[in-house]
Amino acid sequence: MEYVVIAYLFLSILLYVVLGGADFGAGIIELFTSEKNKDRTRETLYRAIGPIWEANHMWLIITIVILFVAYPLIYAEMSVYLHIPLIIMLIGIIARGTAFVFRNYDAVKDDMQHIYNRIYFTSSFITPLFLGIVAGSVVSGHIDHAAATFVDVYIFSWLNWFSVGVGFFVVALCGFLASVYLIGETDNPDDRKRFINKARHMNIAAVLSGMYVFITAWIDDIPLANWIFGTTIGLIAVIAAGISLVILWILIYSGNAIIIRLLAGFQVTMILLALGYAHFPDFIVVKNGTNLTLMDHRATLQTINALGWALLTGTVFIIPALFYLYYKFKHKEYPHD
């Protein structure tokens, strides 16, 4: 059962990054779309994510519940040392979720729309940025149990070049996922071209920020290269991600929308797999080496078993319903306006 729970933890993180990430990415794309095209982008986006966006964000709740039920010490450690970036991320989540619904459910469409839009795309950028910063900080080894001052404990635990780099990498990744997703949501050739362009820009941004992450890791003595290229699985995963990216770019103009989406999702999966595998079972890397691991810092077996069964039972209900939701609302069913 221990491994069932660990599998669910990684699965829900992965699905949140892919599905929730594509959702954030939609806002990021809107942010980087010129004024004259913003309305069209917004419309495609609403059609694409309206029915499913709430469900996409449930993966974060599943992740956090698994953390605090099964790995309470890890959850508490993150809550204390990464309090500030987590709070900023939460404010982003509030702002984004409410602005998205408000702008669609405001009965009168007037100047308020500008305010909702601004809040929506700003928070779509900030939330994954700080999600990435939190993720980067968890593995960066900057959390220091011996630190004494406020700044050392609560600021420098997350404010460093590496964590911020991971933040920007996650933002670019979200934008990339969303562009690839939206390509399949429109038949209009102009829109398609725009989304393909966006995908290209976001891909370049991801590569650049990825390189930046490697450089800062090297400066900060974080053995990132070793984690990814040092293990067979990591190496295979990175090569697979690279190959699938090439295939994606070959197929992007003509290929089946589902396949290119799956390829993009596959890349993220491979990146997370390489990182997760190299780290396992460590979850939080601490400065003096007293890392918190998924094996040594878990709750008692009674709790793990109960949680495992709850997750397995939940899956039986959730997965068919979720697939039916995605199936029923894929864009082909919509009349074009």
CA distance 95 to 257: 31
Amino acid making up residue 97: G
Binding to other proteins by residue 290, rule CB under 8 A?
no
| Residues 36, 93 contacting (CB under 8 angstroms) | no
**Backbone torsions φ then ψ of 254, nearest 5 degrees:** -125, -15
Question: What are the angstrom distances between the C-alpha of 265 and each of 51, 54, 63, 188, 260?
Answer: 20, 19, 19, 24, 9
Burial of residue 170, with CB atoms counted within 10 A of its CB: 0-12 exposed, 13-18 middle, 19 or more buried: buried
Choose which of 14, 15, 93, 237 interacts with other proteins (CB under 8 A): 93
Binding to other proteins by residue 154, rule CB under 8 A?
yes
Q: Which is nearer to other proteins, 31 or 318 (CB)?
A: 318
CA distance 295 to 281: 6
Burial of residue 303, with CB atoms counted within 10 A of its CB: 0-12 exposed, 13-18 middle, 19 or more buried: middle
* DSSP annotation of 332: G
Binding to other proteins by residue 246, rule CB under 8 A?
no
Site string for other proteins, 51-90 (x = CB under 8 A): xx-xx-xx-xxx-xxx-xxx-xx-xx-xxx--x--xx--x
Q: Which is nearer to other proteins, 126 or 196 (CB)?
A: 126
Closest contact distance (angstroms) between CB of 4 and other proteins is 12
Q: Which is nearer to other proteins, 157 or 216 (CB)?
A: 157
Q: Which is nearer to other proteins, 66 or 252 (CB)?
A: 66
Binding to other proteins by residue 1, rule CB under 8 A?
no
Choose which of 91, 240, 262, 275 interacts with other proteins (CB under 8 A): 91
CA distance 281 to 300: 17
Closest contact distance (angstroms) between CB of 236 and other proteins is 33
Amino acid making up residue 311: L
Cis peptide before 223 (omega within 30 of 0): no
Site string for other proteins, 110-149 (x = CB under 8 A): ----------------------------------------
Binding to other proteins by residue 317, rule CB under 8 A?
yes
Binding to other proteins by residue 331, rule CB under 8 A?
no
Number of residues this chain uses to bind other proteins (CB under 8 A)? 61
Burial of residue 278, with CB atoms counted within 10 A of its CB: 0-12 exposed, 13-18 middle, 19 or more buried: buried
- The span of 14-22, 46-54, 182-190, 192-200 binding other proteins (CB under 8 A) equals 46-54
CA distance 174 to 179: 9
* Alpha-carbon dihedral sign for residues 123, 137, 11, 29: positive
Residues at the contact surface with other proteins, assessed by CB under 8 A: 50-52, 54-55, 57-58, 60-62, 64-66, 68-70, 72-73, 75-76, 78-80, 83, 86-87, 90-91, 93-94, 97-98, 100-102, 104-108, 150, 153-154, 299-300, 302-303, 306-307, 310-311, 313-314, 317-318, 321-322, 325, 328-329, 333
